[in-house]
A and B are shown apart, each in its own frame.
Chain A
Amino acid sequence: MAEIKFTTSLEHNVQVLKDIFKNDNTFITRMAKNKNGLTCAVCFFDGMVNNLAINQSIIRPIVSCYENKVTAETLAETIIQINDSIVQPDLNKMLSAMMYGDTVILTEGEDKPVVVNTKGFSVRSSSEPDNERVLRGPREGFTEAFMINLSMIRRRLNDTRLKFSFSRMATHSQTAVCLCYLEGVTDEKLVKEIKKRLDSIELDGILDANYIAECIRDEQNSPFPTLGTTERPDVVVAKLLEGRVAIITDGTPVVLTAPCILQECIQANDDYYLPVMQASLARIIRSCGIMLSIIIPALYVALLYYHAELLPTRMLLALAAAQKGVPLPPLWEIFTLLIVFEILKEAGTRTPGVIGSTMSIVGGLVLGQSAVSARLISAPAVIIVAIAAVTGLAAPKLQNAALYLRFILLICSALFGLYGLVLGLSSVLLHLCALHSCSMPYLLNLLSRVNAHTEDRDMRISWRKMKNKRFIAGRSKK
């Protein structure tokens, strides 16, 4: 940020600001004078401010007051009629506040500006996040507006111990980032660790939470998420209650939570809003889904290439018959189809809704059907890839991991059949064993039966019984 210095001359100070924003047409300076000769400069950015507040609570009181000379303190405390108005001697902070919708008031004979909160930019209204829909439960989602997001958390957690710790990050964008935690519940070491990691970020701009996530997460090369992401305030509050910290970034509805362990990846917010029996079943089905999604293509290839004896005779014949006249061997068929599926998925993500659904019909149904009848691919391969694709959607947080693992296990089983598949899977398990998120083992509660919180793991116990048994990150079981 530019080095600037104010003097007691209003004209000079205004000129300094005009010089800084000289090619910026949104920068507006309004000189306000009263009858007794008091002159103030009201500086703000067009479009970022609430014009009504400036007109009625800043300009009107200045113009209609009787003083001929005021100090910055008097201006802030008695004249300006806005709740949040302070004297800001730090000019860098003043500049960033102004650029974020605050109004700066300079007055003759004062080198300290008054910064008034007049933020009034338009924001998107809150809606239910598309990728975290629930059957039943709250439907509010975060927006791009920072303070509104914080208010959504505060509204749900009326606790004096809820802390919001602000900082500005990135040299150019000066993005506001808030570390949110529940004092007394969250482990202090965890808060310190996250603060340390946040302080070490050296970026020029932060446009989304992922910029931060990639800088602070453990094990950058792991396909498994080591930081949680959500767009729902209810989820953030639940994580805070479990002793986690949340990192809220300005300009994005995505909030990061840390630490993130594997059991979270198969939990969904629905689990807590639906009756306990239904929720627990859904969680088990989700775990099976993700396992199937990873294993099925590899298992198909292993059985077909190395262990045909495990298949019933007629099934083997049918699979062999389906292979006849098809140009690619099964392994390459599955490989190609998986890649095509990923391409279709990628294309579908970027296309507008209406075209997207048309494309999935053309891409998935029509193409698949005709490719089978034209003997370009075999029907079993299409079925296998379809099962893998659909079951993979069961646990959206693990989709990235599933994508990688599907291919890795496919190669393992193509090389060494079921043995390769088992060794591959156990290597994945090994990777998970060594994985940590903010010094917390990724497989926490899943591996050791000592001190494990099993109440909310594979099955959830009812809220009535959960009372004192809740899992708190970083705290061992009583």
Chain B
Amino acid sequence: MKKLLLLTICLLMLTGCQQTKNKRVELNQNAGQILPISALAIDKKDNLYQMTIESIRQDSLDGEVSPAYFTVKAENFSDLFYNADMMLASRLYLSHASIIIVSENIAKFDIDNLVNSLIERPDARLTLRIAVAENSTPDEILQTPSVTDGIPGMALSSLLEKRTKDQTFLDFPMFRILDYRLDGRDIALPVLTLSDDGHVSPKSSIIISSDGGVKYA
């Protein structure tokens, strides 16, 4: 009897996938079937959100790690992630994403929606940092090659990490943004811009108050 029960449980778990609430979730997906994302860039154009996703891939154990970019559009953030998920043969995996670059408009008016849709996803980490692009679009910033790392997204995230540690920027990971916004306090996001030689450089912080007002510090 006990064996039968165990067998049933095993069989139930080892099979297939299940459709839950419009989110595609598959069982027993191993590391080979997920697509790790290192960074995202979100912009708004013609009333549509546009998200450029930097995924990372490595084809063989001793092969090079290289970034790959693709772009999706949707009317809201949840749909953006859903569309991105539907585009891929693998699962969009945000766990390793540590930076999102947004345009100033989104930072001003849509930051709450963005954060809310991110915390709905169990795979997005709470320590994700949001940076604001200045003088160029977020995806330009994201796709600019870095001198330190082959993956621009990862280079940007280490850059922010380092500048936060030396207190150039205030420490505002996603959970703190959420906390401050709910408290009605101002938040400070790092600003990234393209330098004259075509590399990304950190600039100042942008302080966003709860009513959408901004000032640069």
Contacts and interface: CB of A to CB of B under 8 A. Distances in A.
In the complex, are there CB atoms of A and B closer than 8 Å?
yes
Nearest to A309: B95
B32 interface: yes
A321 B31 CA distance: 9
Interface centre among A311, A313, A411 (most CB of B within 10 A): A313
Given A309-B125, A415-B9, A318 B36 contact: no
Interface string B85-108: 000000001011000000000000
Contacts of A88: none
Contacts of B29: 305
Interface residues of A, number: 24
Contact of B30 (A309, A321, A330): A330
A interface majority secondary structure = helix
What are the 8 closest A-B residue pairs judged by CB atoms, nearest first?
A323-B32, A309-B95, A321-B58, A317-B58, A320-B31, A313-B96, A304-B31, A322-B61
B34 interface: yes
A70 interface: no
A323 B58 contact: no
Contacts of A322: 60-61
Interface string B12-38: 011000000000000011111010101
B93 A308 contact: yes
A354 B11 CA distance: 45
B interface majority secondary structure = mixed
Interface string A100-122: 00000000000000000000000
A403 interface: no
A350 interface: no
B61 A321 contact: yes
A324 B59 contact: yes
Given A305-B28, A321-B63, A379-B61, A313 B154 contact: yes
A314 interface: yes
Contact of A316 (B10, B13, B28, B31): B31
Contacts, number: 66
A322 B65 CA distance: 13
B60 to A, nearest CB: 6
Interface string A280-324: 000000000000000000000000110011010110111111111
A313 B32 contact: no
Interface string A322-336: 111010011100000
A108 to B, nearest CB: 70
Interface in A333-382: 379
Interface of B: 9-10, 13-14, 28-32, 34, 36, 38, 56-61, 63, 65, 93, 95-96, 123, 125, 154
A316 B93 CA distance: 12
A324 B93 CA distance: 17
Contacts of A320: 31-32, 34, 36, 58
A373 to B, nearest CB: 11
Interface in A373-422: 379, 411, 414-415
Interface string A163-196: 0000000000000000000000000000000000
26 contacts: A305-B28, A305-B29, A305-B30, A308-B31, A308-B36, A308-B93, A308-B95, A313-B36, A313-B56, A313-B154, A317-B58, A318-B61, A321-B58, A321-B60, A321-B63, A323-B31, A324-B59, A324-B60, A329-B28, A330-B30, A379-B61, A411-B10, A414-B14, A414-B28, A415-B9, A415-B10
Nearest to B57: A317
Contacts of B10: 411, 415
Contacts of B14: 414
A245 B33 CA distance: 57
B199 to A, nearest CB: 22
B117 to A, nearest CB: 19
Nearest to A329: B30
A450 to B, nearest CB: 36
B22 to A, nearest CB: 22
A322 B154 CA distance: 22
A319 B32 CA distance: 8
Given A313-B36, A379-B61, A411-B10, A323 B30 contact: yes
A272 to B, nearest CB: 43
Given A317-B56, A329-B32, 20 more contacts: A305-B28, A305-B29, A308-B34, A308-B95, A309-B123, A311-B31, A313-B36, A316-B31, A317-B36, A317-B57, A317-B58, A318-B58, A319-B31, A320-B36, A321-B59, A321-B63, A322-B60, A329-B30, A330-B32, A415-B9
Interface centre among B9, B60, B125 (most CB of A within 10 A): B60
Contacts of A311: 31
